[in-house]
A and B are shown apart, each in its own frame.
Chain A
Amino acid sequence: DTEVTQTPKHLVMGMTNKKSLKCEQHMGHRAMYWYKQKAKKPPELMFVYSYEKLSINESVPSRFSPECPNSSLLNLHLHALQPEDSALYLCASSQDMGQGVGYTFGSGTRLTVV
């Protein structure tokens, strides 16, 4: 299995809702990442987990809460989002945080906040 699987593919949520995005990989990768991508912009790093521990938080608002229950799973919990948080949320993984063949990305979850 050489894929990163993200669910759901599309999500519409209200500003008072709580929802979660899920990311899964079975490549034995020990680093996992969340990126946010607004329309016509490049992806921006949000969080990095290395060996199931939060390694980097790029000053992301607390309404986004990441979780890494085990080495194969990465969640992003969403609460009280704003319409400007509507974006494509991308998950990626890599063998570790060192130099290597790079990251494997999922296809993303397209989030719309209404």
Chain B
Amino acid sequence: DAKTTQPPSMDCAEGRAANLPCNHSTISGNEYVYWYRQIHSQGPQYIIHGLKNNETNEMASLIITEDRKSSTLILPHATLRDTAVYYCIVRLGGYSTLTFGKGTMLLVSP
């Protein structure tokens, strides 16, 4: 699986958009980009995933660059409850497992 690089921490004001970057320059054509988050003392929570196209769901938007070497997770209106560690994971297509990196600690402040 391709390796990912994320900033260790980010801050965001409540109500503003949180843009979390992820670099995955060695990604292969059949590898998907997944985002999970883990709120303190809870299990990880699936957010979104994509292959080539941008994706949006009720939680977030995922923007993948055309060369697929990086992506951005966007939380459009961050709330205090979005404070968590966000993991960007590149996962091989077909049968593979989820391997977590260090993630980004997002702190949303009032």
Binding site for B on A (CB under 8 A): 4, 33, 42-45, 48, 56, 88, 90, 92, 97-99, 101-108, 110
A56 / chain B contacts, CB cutoff of 8 Å: 97
Binding site for A on B (CB under 8 A): 32, 34, 36, 38, 41-46, 49, 87, 91, 93-103
B91 / chain A contacts, CB cutoff of 8 Å: 99
Main secondary structure of the interface of B (DSSP, over half): loop
Residue of A nearest to B35 (CB): A102
A90 / chain B contacts, CB cutoff of 8 Å: 43-44
The minimal Cβ–Cβ distance linking B31 to chain A, given in whole angstroms, is: 10
A97 / chain B contacts, CB cutoff of 8 Å: 95-97
Contact across chains for B102 and A42 when beta carbons are under 8 A apart = yes
The minimal Cβ–Cβ distance linking B9 to chain A, given in whole angstroms, is: 12
B100 / chain A contacts, CB cutoff of 8 Å: 42-44
Residue of A nearest to B91 (CB): A99
B38 / chain A contacts, CB cutoff of 8 Å: 43
Bound complex: CA A101 to CA B98 (Å):
12
B93 / chain A contacts, CB cutoff of 8 Å: 99
